[in-house]
Amino acid sequence: WARGKRDEGEVRVVPLPPIRAAKGLALGALCAGAIGWFTHHYTDAALPWMDSALSSFSLVAQYWTARRHAASWLLWIAVDIFYVGMFAFKGLWLTAGLYAAMIGLAVLGYWRWRQAMRRSAA
């Protein structure tokens, strides 16, 4: 992260080209399907399809975050919303609350990175 900052100490945010976004989402869906199929058939996981989708798209979001794409925060928000629902369904209220807090952090991250993008464009 230290190398990805401007002289003012602000993160350099890089736009996510639509084709790269589509490829990332397609890869997330493909991996979700493969992992979901495997865990559905070979484990006793309670929610294998949802678990695999959330894990796969979390990895896509993490990759985009490491590449400093502001869109990563939007994917984190979506993933975390589903995590809250999944943990609430399982009755894991503290974990659901933790992921609800992470939604707030992702909203804040997106807002700050959008501000950084605007400042660098000006």
* 26-58 confidence digits (pLDDT tens): 999 999 999 999 999 999 999 999 999 999 999
* 58-85 confidence digits (pLDDT tens): 999 999 999 999 999 999 999 999 999 9
Q: How many helices (H) and strands (E) does the chain have?
A: 4, 0
So what's the pLDDT on residue 54? 98
**pLDDT band per the 50, 70, 90 thresholds, residue 9:** low
Task: Give the integer Cα–Cα distance in Å for 51 and 49.
Answer: 5
* Amino acid in the structure at residue 116: A
Backbone angles phi, psi at 15, to 5 degrees: -60, 150
Task: Give the integer Cα–Cα distance in Å for 10 and 33.
Answer: 38
